[in-house]
Amino acid sequence: MTGPSASSRRVLLLGGSGLLSGAAREAFLAAGHEVTVVSRGARPLPPHPRLRALRADRRDPAALAAVLKGERFDFTADFLAYDAADVEGLLAVPGFSPGRLVMISSGQVYLVARERRPPFREEAADLPPAPAPAAGTRDRREWDYGMGKRAAEAALRAGAAARGLETLALRLPVVQGENDGENSRRLWAWLERMRDGGPVLLPDGGAQPVRFVYAGDAALALLRLEGLPAWPGLPALNLAQPGETTLKDFLELAARCAGIVPRFVTVSGERLRAAGLADTCAPYWGDWCSRPDPSAAFALGFTARDPEEYLPSVVRAHLAAPPAVPHEGYARRAEELALAAAL
């Protein structure tokens, strides 16, 4: 490939090996931009003449300053901001200029609220938080994550006001993509159960509404944010697929894409929790799967695809290159089968 074009921009991606950051990296390179990726370097990036990889631990101020001191960019996408200190540390790097700065946030900022009314509009993140759940529980870990993202967004707004930056928190639900097999393995958790031929526990019959976003669509949204003639001037924006579906409909679509006829067995949420399996066998189900409303983004011209459009490619990729290890909850598959037989 040739060098940068006259219209190329300097883009910084904080985080290099995740599902979304990888999709963004490819999108910006394909658009002709010069891309710098800062990560811990655990996974090597594919070589490219317009790609620069810098190694630093995001949470080590000295290491971050060593690679970003004096650096100036046109656009920065931050995939690794989990609390206020992450944002403050980045903006404290001497001489660092991020250009337009987009922090990847999460629909989890809505789920920590005392009052939940999904699907969530952007203003719902201002609702008072619920009390902290008991320490050491999954609920506490999820609550901490959501509260951390709220704090990171607040630090982003403060930094924008202090430095006159154009910033935005892009709030996403669960991200689906072809390269997720070795990351969360959540879709694979369902595919491997459906593929083994045994019954698959489906909490509450799969009636829970779900809403996701395709990694490619989120990457294109970042590309569009970089090139907008006028910045939206909003503190935060949701992006998600246009419509909601039920968990059962989503899984049945995934099964058809894989050529599988699944054997779903309905189990109540109470029974699943009593068996100790609620946190291990049913990704996308429960209280911590967000459903952001993307209406505001669509009104601004952003787009996203429904599962019927993106899921066939995602499932094919999972089947073509299965994860090296099963989803962590699959270790308790025998208990799931025993519960299904009892039902």
Domains and CATH numbers, the chain: 10-342 (3.40.50.720)
Please tell me the least confidently modeled range out of 9-13, 154-158, 224-228, 322-326: 322-326
Q: What is the mean pLDDT of residues 106-127?
A: 97
183 has pLDDT over 80: no
In this structure, how many other beta carbons lie within 10 angstroms of the beta carbon of residue 9?
Answer: 19
pLDDT tier, 34 (very low <50, low <70, confident <90, very high otherwise) = very high
**pLDDT at res. 181:** 59
Burial of 101 (0-12, 13-18, 19+ CB in 10 A): buried
Q: Is the pLDDT of residue 7 over 90?
A: no
- The pLDDT-based confidence of 184 (bands split at 50, 70, 90) is confident
**Dihedral of CA 324/330/333/335: which sign?**
positive
Q: 153-181: per-residue pLDDT in tens?
A: 999 999 999 999 999 999 999 999 998 75
3-state secondary structure of 20: helix
Q: What is the pLDDT of residue 234?
A: 95
- Structure tokens, 259: 């050529």
Q: What percent of the chain has pLDDT over 70?
A: 98
Lowest mean pLDDT among 8-17, 20-29, 143-152, 239-248: 8-17
For range 113-121, the mean pLDDT? 96
φ and ψ of 236, to 5 deg: -155, 155
- Taking residues 218-247, report their average pLDDT: 97
Position 42 confidence tier, pLDDT thresholds 50, 70, 90: confident
pLDDT tier, 43 (very low <50, low <70, confident <90, very high otherwise): confident
pLDDT at 208 over 90: yes
Mean of all residue pLDDT scores within the chain: 95
Spatial distance between the Cα atoms of 177 and 180, rounded to a whole number of angstroms: 6
pLDDT of residue 57: 93
Would you say residue 24 has pLDDT above 70?
Answer: yes
Whole-number Å distance between alpha carbons of 67 and 191: 41
pLDDT of residue 87: 97
Q: Average of pLDDT values for 28-43?
A: 93
Q: DSSP letter string over 41-101?
A: -SSPPPP-TTEEEEE--TT-HHHHHHHHTT-B-SEEEES---SHHHHHHHHTSTT-B-SEE
Categorize the per-residue pLDDT at 5 as very low, low, confident or very high, splitting at 50, 70 and 90: low
Residue in the structure block whose two tokens are 């779903």: 264
Predicted local confidence at residue 16, as pLDDT? 73
Q: Do 45 and 16 contact (CB within 8 A), yes or no?
A: yes
Six-digit token string for 264: 């779903």
> What does the alpha-carbon distance between residue 314 and residue 312 come to, in Å, rounded to a whole number?
5
What is the pLDDT confidence band of residue 182, given thresholds at 50, 70 and 90? low
CA distance 208 to 246: 5
pLDDT of residue 2: 43
Q: Which pLDDT band, with edges at 50, 70 and 90, does 255 fall under?
A: very high
Residue 3 reports pLDDT greater than 60: no
Question: Is residue 34 classed exposed, middle or buried when 0-12, 13-18 and 19+ CB atoms within 10 A define those classes?
Answer: buried
- Which pTM does this prediction carry? 0.95
**Which tokens belong to 13?**
């991606």
Question: Are 87 and 155 within 8 A, CB to CB?
Answer: yes
Helix axes 84-91, 61-68, angle to 10 degrees: 40
pLDDT above 50: residue 250: yes
Q: How far apart are CA 166 and CA 233, in angstroms?
A: 7
Token pair in block for residue 271? 């029974």
The answer to whether the peptide bond before residue 292 is cis (omega within 30 degrees of 0) is no
Counting residues of the chain whose pLDDT is more than 90, the rounded percentage is 91
Burial classification of residue 301, based on how many CB atoms lie within 10 Å of its CB (0-12 exposed, 13-18 middle, 19 or more buried): exposed
- Indicate if the alpha-carbon torsion angle 83, 86, 91, 97 is positive or negative: negative
Handedness of CA 247, 248, 253, 256 (dihedral sign): positive
